[in-house]
């Protein structure tokens, strides 16, 4: 039986308070009086100065202190070795596509188990790309069971909870925050080598929620995805600034769709010309690692449409070689042995 999508009781998030973004200042019905202990204080609504204040009941019942579910999330994810966020700030740069490719790349090593958490609540495309669109969530005494795209690749997405795959998700921030918490607290992820978190564009509710809930259990860092154009680089700069303010390590930057690879002759042409130096130049400016450029291959879209592994279907594509280089660079930035994370094939 799939869990219901009832309204969450989570408080609204406040994007400008990184220390506690999920708790909103109470909506007061009158100005704060003199000697007010503060609506978010532990004494709010209980101090002597609160007697007779129109806000007393509001302040007394407002959430206070750290989220009590965070230790539960930390315990649930204790078997996950590495957690990686996929960010951009810009829509249309291929974050979800790159996440699915990265997941398949890690999963080519049969000794590794990979999980993908789709936090793009309003545009869940990961299930389609990984070939599990028709799956549903199963609930047991241990929690929610993720869908398995491969023997070593697990997926969780809101798509599994929709009665119709074309249904729109029309939710405000609190409900999104509540579902993300459930993905972390209630999903039986088990022992994973890598948990990849696919995020929507921007630096808002979903990003703040993931950072807050995972901070105690530890985030290895974030991978930035961009395309060569300055329009994309502008938003990626904001995302890097968000990570630095939120205390998230930037593992590196990937330039996606950096060129077009002809499927027949494998010649690469520059489609999106970099007017300011592209991703490599931005990485130098921001002092982060440049993990590599992934060319545009139309067969990537085909593999995603059919939910197949691009590495299995088109292993000779230049995009495969580029993605393997990205994985090895990412492993190095995480302090892992690239030859263990992405072993060379026999005869390679």
Residue-wise pLDDT tens digits, 112-121:
999 999 999 9
91 is in an annotated binding site: yes
265: Cβ contacts below 8 Å, ≥ 6 apart = none
53 is in an annotated binding site: yes
Across 306-322, b (16+ Cβ under 10 Å) vs e yields ebbbbbeebeebbbbeb
Q: Could you give the 3-state DSSP secondary structure of residue 230?
A: helix
307 is in an annotated binding site: no
93 is in an annotated binding site: yes
Distance CA 7, CA 178 (A): 9
262 is in an annotated binding site: yes
The residue extents of the domains of the chain are 34-65, 70-341
Beta strands in 262-318 (DSSP E): 268-269, 290-296
90 is in an annotated binding site: yes
95 is in an annotated binding site: yes
Q: Which CATH superfamily is domain 70-341 in?
A: P-loop containing nucleotide triphosphate hydrolases (3.40.50.300)
| pLDDT values of the chain reduced to their tens digit, one per residue, 348 residues | 556 554 443 334 333 445 555 555 567 767 777 677 766 666 777 877 788 888 888 777 776 667 788 999 999 999 999 999 999 988 889 999 999 999 999 999 999 999 999 999 999 999 999 999 999 988 888 899 999 999 999 999 999 999 888 889 888 888 888 999 999 999 999 999 999 999 999 888 889 889 989 988 999 999 999 999 898 999 999 999 999 999 999 999 999 998 887 777 767 788 777 778 889 999 999 999 999 999 988 899 999 999 999 999 999 888 999 999 999 999 999 999 999 999 876 544
50 is in an annotated binding site: yes
Tokens of 271: 């489609």
89 is in an annotated binding site: yes
* Length of the chain counted residue by residue: 348
User: What global pTM score does this model have?
Assistant: 0.82
79 is in an annotated binding site: no
């Amino acid at each position: 039986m799939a869990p219901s999508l009832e309204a969450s009781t989570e408080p609204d998030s406040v994007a400008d308070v990184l220390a506690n973004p999920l708790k909103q200042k109470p909506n007061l019905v009158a100005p704060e009086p003199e000697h007010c202990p503060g609506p978010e204080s532990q004494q709010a609504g209980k101090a002597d100065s609160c007697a007779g204040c129109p806000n007393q009941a509001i302040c007394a019942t407002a959430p206070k202190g750290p989220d009590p579910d965070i230790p539960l999330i930390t315990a649930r994810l204790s078997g996950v070795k590495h957690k990686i966020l996929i960010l951009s700030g810009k829509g249309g740069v291929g974050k979800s596509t790159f996440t699915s490719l990265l997941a398949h790349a890690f999963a080519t090593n049969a000794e590794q188990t990979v999980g993908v958490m789709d936090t793009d609540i309003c545009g869940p495309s990961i299930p389609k790309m990984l070939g599990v669109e028709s799956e549903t969530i199963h609930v047991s005494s241990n929690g929610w069971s993720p869908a398995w795209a491969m023997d070593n690749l697990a997926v969780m997405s809101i798509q599994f909870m929709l009665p119709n795959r074309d249904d729109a998700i029309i939710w405000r921030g609190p409900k999104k925050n509540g579902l993300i918490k459930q993905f972390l607290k209630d999903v039986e992820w088990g022992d994973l080598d890598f948990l990849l978190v696919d995020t929507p564009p921007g630096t808002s509710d979903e990003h703040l929620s993931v950072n807050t809930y995972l901070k105690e259990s530890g985030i290895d860092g974030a991978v930035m995805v961009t395309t060569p154009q300055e329009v994309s680089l502008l938003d990626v700069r904001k995302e890097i600034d968000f990570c630095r303010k939120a205390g998230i390590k930037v593992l590196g930057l990937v330039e996606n769709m950096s060129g077009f690879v002809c499927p027949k002759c494998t010649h690469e042409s520059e489609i999106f010309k970099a007017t300011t130096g592209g991703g490599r130049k931005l990485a130098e400016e921001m002092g982060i690692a440049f993990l590599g450029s992934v060319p545009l291959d139309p067969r990537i879209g085909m593999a995603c449409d059919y939910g197949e592994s691009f590495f299995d279907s088109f292993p000779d594509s230049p995009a495969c070689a580029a993605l393997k280089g990205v994985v090895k660079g990412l492993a190095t930035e995480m302090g892992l042995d690239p030859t263990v994370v992405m072993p060379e094939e026999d005869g390679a």
